[in-house]
Amino acid sequence: MALQLKRRLHIIKERFKGKKMAPAFNALHTFLYTPNETTHGGTHVKAADDLKRTMNTVILALVPCLLFGMFNAGYQHYSAINGFPENFSLFEHFLTWDNFWVGVTEVLPLVIVSYGVGLLIEFIFAVIKGHEVEEGYLVTGMLVPLIIPIDTPLWMLAVAVVFGVVIGKEVFGGTGMNILNPALTIRAFLFFAYPTWMSGDKVWVHGAKDGITQAGSTDAISGETVLGYLAQGNNAEAFAKYDLSEMFFGFIPGSVGETSTLLILLGGLFLIFTKIASWRIMVSAVIGSLVMGLIFNGVVEAGWIQEYSKFYGLMSFDFWQHLIVGGLAFGIVYMATDPVTGSQTNKGKWIYGFLIGFLSVMIRVFNPGYPEGVFLAILLMNVFAPTIDHYVVRGNVRRRLKRMQNATIYPKLSEGKEELKAEAV
């Protein structure tokens, strides 16, 4: 049966050759089966990996975050209504059908709209330009639902996806040519176009913005995050609603897929093992965030800022805890390591990652109205990544020229250099 279907699709594919809609059908065909076209010359590098397999590997690393986000959506919703359980049980309070059903009904539509609208735009541009549909949006389509609040209206998400794909990628030439991360471009559009849906304490828990309760009344429920509490200038030591284990494992409010630091860490290790993501960017970004956090902690300990300051809460927050709240860990692992928009040189990756972590915590502290700054830091460094690589390459070239000119095995070159200096004088 499967073989007959494959043969039938191949026959239809042959009929589409040379026609306007050929890219659209080819995209559906290659989604189901490996392309028939193979290289035969000796100059080609034959490998099992391609863009589609690479994208699918990243999606595989994101699936645990998606599933956890579905359960956490229901857990935060019912806990905000009924109160958080005193003796938390993973199977009695978290891994329940009621929690998962809230996640399915609220998160799955976000995934469907993200993929449906994004791939439709990709198909339209492929047909207009006459080239094959690129698989670059496969990862973007999964990332977008994981970095937005759970109650984001579907029409709002659709508008943002159109903007992000067209302006963030297609105008630059498509996959591999964009200078900004498309998923973060979509997130930035949502934040600046619809700020009341992207920030505050009523957007991170399902039903909080509309005041939904089990009884259907309009008694508002709160979805305040750790960062939201600290951004109001509250003392970090006084925040006792969530303990460190809850923040690390992810049983806290936040965007759909960015709360569980444990799963993000495992996903990062998987991407490093498969050699898809750069460990240099991840490590340097962690170092950058820790350094900035240490600087702020030092300012507080030195008494240079008073407790009544609106910056005191986040400045007094333990430097290493910045990594287990908000979207910093998710951004470092899945966004900063984008091979298209990040630095390409090894030294450039260290600089690029360090500045992302450094700026993320800086923006988080100095922007109390929006304490989550990782997406702004990554977008900013996307712009400067080519400049970083440019100066790294120039520095390498200069050092090599200097070594060559000073080498004793090139006496004639050294003599010629002296003659040129004499002529210039």
Distance of CA 23 to the CA centre of its chain: 28
DSSP collapsed to 3 states, 275-289: CCCCHHHHHHHHHHH
CA distance 281 to 341: 12
> What interhelical angle do 137-146 and 51-82 show, nearest 10?
10
CA distance 181 to 367: 22
Residue found under tokens 């460990």:
279
Which two tokens mark 253? 């409010």
Q: Are 110 and 145 in contact (CB under 8 A)?
A: yes
Per-residue pLDDT of the chain (425 residues; tens, 9 = 90+): 656 666 665 666 656 565 555 555 555 555 555 555 555 565 556 565 667 778 889 999 999 999 999 999 999 999 988 888 888 889 899 999 999 999 999 999 999 999 999 989 988 888 787 766 677 788 999 999 999 999 999 999 999 999 999 988 888 877 778 899 999 999 999 999 998 898 877 889 988 777 655 444 444 466 678 888 787 777 766 566 788 899 999 999 999 999 999 999 999 999 999 999 999 999 999 999 999 999 999 999 998 888 778 888 889 889 999 999 989 999 999 999 999 999 999 999 999 999 999 999 999 888 866 667 899 999 999 999 999 999 999 999 999 888 888 875 555 555 555 554 555 44
CA distance 110 to 146: 9
Q: Are 338 and 181 in contact (CB under 8 A)?
A: yes
Model pTM score: 0.85
Which two tokens mark 192? 């600046």
Q: Which pLDDT value is given to residue 25?
A: 52
Q: Which pLDDT value is given to residue 346?
A: 95
b/e sequence 254-264, b meaning 16+ C-beta within 10 Å:
bbbbbbbbebb
Q: Which pLDDT value is given to residue 216?
A: 44
Beta-carbon-side half-sphere exposure of residue 35 (alpha carbons within 13 Å): 15
Q: Which pLDDT value is given to residue 377?
A: 94
Q: Which pLDDT value is given to residue 389?
A: 96
Q: Are 248 and 262 in contact (CB under 8 A)?
A: yes
